[in-house]
Amino acid sequence: MPTYDINDPTDLDIIRGQFNMISADEWDEYIEIAEERNLSYKNIKMLKTAQRKAGIAKYLSPKVLVWILSIVDQLDSEEDEEE
């Protein structure tokens, strides 16, 4: 995941757009993968928060959005390594 500046409005729009592109069903898949890989409780809890807020990134803080997207990026990269 590229590094974004949460104080830059353009970067914030990109982050929110990336978050909003993930559906609630996709969040459910990420949660299952995270639980299988024994990710920390906090990370799984963040993914569950993301699932509840799917499509409405404006209700999450920029720091939380970056955290969630970094978890997704980590899960995706581990998935690619397995294939």
pTM (whole model) above 0.85: yes
User: Is 71 contained in some domain?
Assistant: yes
Distance CA 33, CA 14 (A): 25
Kindly provide the b/e burial profile for residues 2-25, where b requires at least 16 CB atoms within 10 angstroms of the residue's own CB. Answer: eebeeeeeebbeebbebbeebeee
Let me know if residue 17 belongs to a domain: yes
**Rounded CA gap, 68 and 57, in Å?**
11
Residue 13 in domain? yes
Total domains in the chain come to 1
- Tens of pLDDT along 4-17? 888 999 999 999 99
Does any domain span residue 32?
Answer: yes
Give burial (CB, 10 Å; 0-12/13-18/19+) of 77.
Answer: exposed
User: How far, in Å, CA of 57 to CA of 59, rounded?
Assistant: 5
Instruction: Name the residue range of residue 40's domain.
Output: 9-78
Identify the band that residue 49 occupies on the pLDDT scale cut at 50, 70 and 90: very high
